[in-house]
Amino acid sequence: MKPNELNVLVIDENRIRAAIIEDGLRDAGYDQVTVIDVMHGLARRIADLNPDIIVIDLENPNRDMLESMFQLSRAVKRPIAMFVDKSDELSIEAAVEAGVSAYIVDGLKQERVRPILKMAISRFNAFSRLSRELEETRGELENRKVIDRAKGLLMRSRGLSEEAAYALLRRTAMNQNRKIVEIAQSLVTAASLLDPGGTE
Amino acid sequence: MTTRHAITAGFVPLLDSALLVVAREMGFAEAQGIDLTLLRERSWASIRDRLAVRHIDVAHILGPMPIAGNLGLNLPAPEMIVPMALGLGGNAVTVSPALWQAMADHGATADLDARANGAALRAAIAVRTGAPLRFGVVHPYSGHNYELRYWLAASGIDPDRDIEIVVLPPPDMGDALSEGVIDGYCAGEPWNTFGVLRRGGHLATVKAAIWRSSPEKVLGVNARWGAANPEAMAALLVALYQASLWCARPENHAALATLLAQPAYVGHDVDLLLPALDGKLPVGGETVRTIGDFFVPNAKAATFPWKSHALWFYTQMVRWRQIGHTAERQRLAAETYRPDIYRAALKDLGIAMPSVSAKVEGALTVATPVGSSGVLTLGPDGFFDGGRFDPDDVEAYIASQTVG
């Protein structure tokens, strides 16, 4: 069986992450990839698709259902948990760490599936790294806004230049062993408390 | 307390995660020098996986799961031990309005009697045409699956031929019921109260009526972690025992429901959580029934990990063909539950504890004081069909079990 003959099913409520996995699989030569991102009627769809391999996000609440289907169902070939080989502890750990789980049809050689899992793990990790970076960028933007408002307050109330206002914030932060954004936030909060209808 | 134990516990957002939540939130863990982190999971599979890779040390887990894991049925489960139970009872069987009507036509009543309502279900199935009824349970290795099957089989219904049993995530069961995907389900709380109050379902019977004072969730411990951290484990058992006492006090129920309603824990409205705590269950329509021992967090040795409970779960795995019986497997199942660790950890609390590690299940028809002090009361613990399980004669019990 060549890679492209394996029927791979990706189940993930996160559409973007699912698309990233699908993309990776297609790049690696897997042509028969199906993505399910709506969990409604999942059991029926899996039975219809009869996949050789299922890649699913670890947090998916349908995993217990999925595992029981494999255990009992006559409708589906008997897929089994990816990690049947206890010696494979490192890859179990890497997968759980990344937040992905996989199931394969009984009888399929583990080696044939390992590249899929490896790819899924690295793409799951890349996805969470991207999400984290996006979050941080958003946070930084927010911080910059707060600092700008605090500078504005100081410039107006104390007649400082922008540079001097920033220097004051920085000096205060250093003296109190806190972050500039924390000092700025306290200032903005205090100003809004003192002057709720304020003009800042 | 100078000793600090950092313990991470996994839980699934269900009412009976209460002991762990209370141990953390009401300061019982801290008082034992434990820094308790709770990790919320959405499936038992992910609890198992995180136990295996040691993201979590211990977990709120289905009573049969650690046994299934130790028997190699549920990979990649780590070797596990159960040094404590997290209460008794707490489940119910909810059915659709249409099925309830069909059952009522054959004599089912809102008193939830397992015998009468089981007979009514059997009669309703006998006259039914078309596809077989479909019932949902939460996991193949669960008290839910086994008690539903026990009830059905003892009512003359073959759980594999006369109906279909499927696994569903509990939060989806109410919707599946109202959409007609399933006709009934056996789940823990708050999902029966949710099904009745929010999705028009009707209770058919309750776990306490099928087998009173029966085992449900337990504290599953990664055996390697337990062996390496005996003091932390013992401290946790003390904290959880104190939490169980707190949960048992009726005056705390409102506060407990409010606590569990937080999004970090069960995350549902207080009105869905309080009925099970008070044992006053909405059964359908406007009817509310008081159910004795619906969920028992502390009384009747509710936290004691009886070997007879482990062995009963094992007999059901055999009964429903999840595993073949051997003496070695029976031994592994019994050794998964560790009353010895429970006794040693709680000995300084001066509480009355069972002096034996296994009992004949179903033998007590009334509440019975045990031990010389008389402080500890066990039972009633009867199966609704009068069945008895003698843990000293597992093979005879297995032989006597029918599957249909």
CB within 8 Å of B327: residues ≥ 6 apart: none
Tell me if A123 sits within 8 A of A102, measured CB to CB.
no
Chain A interface, best mutation among B41, B51, B53, B141, by max A CB count within 10 A = B53
Pick the residue from chain A with its C-alpha nearest to B321.
A72
Is the pLDDT confidence value at B146 over 90?
yes
What is the SS3 assignment for A21? helix
Domain, as residue range, for B176: 92-210
CATH class of A3-132: alpha beta
Report the distance separating Cα B318 and Cα B398, nearest Å.
7
pLDDT at position A41? 86
Given a cut of 70, is residue B226 above it in pLDDT?
A: yes
Contact across the interface for B167 and A68, Cβ inside 8 Å: yes
Q: Note the pLDDT tens digit of each residue in A176-197.
A: 888 999 999 999 988 888 876 5
* Domain A137-194 of CATH type 1.20.272.10: no
Apex CA B238: angle with CA B234 and CA B239, to 5°? 115
Residues B230 and B308 in one domain: yes
B209 within 8 A of B290, measured Cβ to Cβ? no
CB-closest option in A43, A60, A84 to B166: A43
A58 vs B49: CB contact, 8 Å cut-off?
Answer: yes
Residues B110 and B130 in one domain: yes
Residue B105 resides in a domain:
yes
Looking at this protein, which amino acid is placed at residue B114? A
- Check CB contact of B345 with chain A, cutoff 8 Å: no
Kindly state whether residue B126 falls inside one of the protein's structural domains: yes
Render pLDDT for A89-124 as a digit per residue (tens, 0 to 9). Answer: 677 888 888 888 888 776 667 677 778 888 888 888
Residue B49 lies in a domain: yes
Is B69 touching A (CB cutoff 8 A)?
Answer: no
Interface membership of B262 toward A (CB under 8 Å): no
CATH value at residue B73: 3.40.190.10
The reported pLDDT for the residue numbered A124 is: 87
pTM assigned to the model: 0.87
- Among B52, B53, B168, the residue with its CB nearest the CB of A65 is B168
Per-domain boundaries in chain A: 3-132, 137-194
Picking from A40, A44, A64 by the largest number of B CB atoms within 10 A of its own CB, the best residue to mutate is: A64
Question: Measured between alpha carbons, how far is B143 from A146 in angstroms, rounded to an integer?
Answer: 54
The three state secondary structure string of B85-112 is ECCEECCEEEECHHHHHHHHHCCCCCCC
pLDDT given at position A75: 46
Of B15, B1, B5, B14, nearest to B277 by C-alpha is B15
In the predicted structure, residue B54 carries a pLDDT above the cut 90: yes
Mean pLDDT computed over every residue of chain B? 95
Per CB-CB distance under 8 Å, the chain A contacts of B321 are none
Q: Using the 3D structure, point to which of B188, B210, B232 is the last residue of a domain.
A: B210
Residue B140 sits at the chain A interface (C-beta within 8 Å) = yes
CB pair distance less than 8 Å for B49 and A67: no
- Ramachandran angles phi, psi of B218, nearest 5°: -135, 170
Report yes or no on B278 lying in a domain. no
* pLDDT score recorded for residue A199: 47
Q: Is residue A71 pLDDT above 60, yes or no?
A: yes
CA angle A178, A179, A180 (to 5 degrees): 120
% pLDDT > 90, chain A: 33
Tell me the CB-side half-sphere exposure of residue B175, using CA atoms within 13 A: 8
Q: Are B186 and B144 in contact (CB under 8 A)?
A: yes
Q: Testing the interface with A: which of B40, B137, B168 to mutate, by most A Cβ within 10 A?
A: B168
Pair type for strands B287-290 and B92-95: unpaired
Shared-domain flag, residues B196 and B243? no
Count: domains in chain B: 3
Question: Is the Cβ pair B169, A62 closer than 8 Å?
Answer: yes
